[in-house]
Amino acid sequence: MISTDAPLPPRLGSLTFHGPLSEERAGRLVRRIVDSGPADVLDIGCGWGELLLRILDAAPGAKGTGVDINAEDLARGRALAAERGLADRVTFAEESARGSERGPVDAVLCLGSSQALCDPELPYDPAEVLRELRRLVRPGGLVVLGEGFWERTPTEAELAGMWPGASTGDHLPLGAIVDLAIAAGFRPAWIETASRDEWEDFESGYRYDTELWLAAHPDHPLAAETRERVDRQRSGWLNGYRNVLGIAYLTLVATV
């Protein structure tokens, strides 16, 4: 008899960060923010706010706010904050970041979430993202932006293997993004990009718990739907954007 009450795998339970970010790089990003002496930190599209919580832990005088529209991730963030004794210094708000009035602050994080600052009815506009980030940070403050870029122009076959409707216009080259940051009122204090190891750890970790669950529950009523979803995600990476799509981590300082 097929069991229908087997628990589903925890969502993203094997990920520390929701992106291709190593412990070593995260530590460097945290130190740069902390060394700037922020009183307040805003995390756009925070998820469970792991990097935000690490900054607050290392900067006892700072307070933080994370905004996201995923209630499950926010609940995970609140639980982590309570475990680390940070609940009185951080707020996790379930709200849209578009047009946010939570700035200006001393430091802003926006890692893989810049679409949250754009009009969803219009094509994605990185220039608008950077203008919004500049609005949300005080002069002299820091922004850490995690932004996708093309390592090289993808082929038609690679585009066909990515997400539905993928096109070369979905991302810019890295140099063009940095130029837009300067035009928006920033100086690029540090430019770095995710390594292949970081990508592989993220992509595998993203599906790890689900793959184990599928192996143990092949006949579960939700197995076929879950299998189709993770197979599509994995194929999009391996047959589409692997070694084509990059993630840049830009530490930007707002000009006075």
- Tens-place pLDDT, residues 108-118: 999 999 999 99
The reported pLDDT for the residue numbered 25 is 98
Q: What gap in Å lies between CA 158 and CA 124, rounded to an integer?
A: 20
- Residue range 133-148: average pLDDT? 98
- Residue range 218-226: average pLDDT? 92
| Prediction pTM value | 0.94
The reported pLDDT for the residue numbered 9 is 72
Which tens digits make up the pLDDT trace of 15-73? 999 999 999 999 999 999 999 999 999 999 999 999 999 999 999 999 999 999 999 99
- 224-237 b/e (C-beta count within 10 Å ≥ 16 → b): eebeeebeeeeebb
Domain boundaries along the sequence of the chain: 23-195+245-254, 198-237
Q: Does domain 23-195+245-254 have CATH number 3.40.50.150?
A: yes
- Tell me the pLDDT band of 13, cut-offs 50, 70 and 90: confident
The reported pLDDT for the residue numbered 205 is 96
- Kindly tell me if the per-residue pLDDT of 2 is higher than 90: no
Helical (H) or strand (E) element with 147: strand 137-150
End-to-end CA distance of the chain: 68
The per-residue pLDDT of the chain, averaged, comes to: 95
- Residue range 117-146: average pLDDT? 96
The reported pLDDT for the residue numbered 1 is 39
- Kindly tell me if the per-residue pLDDT of 4 is higher than 80: no
Q: Is 128 left (phi over 0), alpha (psi -120 to 50) or beta?
A: alpha
- Tell me the pLDDT band of 5, cut-offs 50, 70 and 90: low
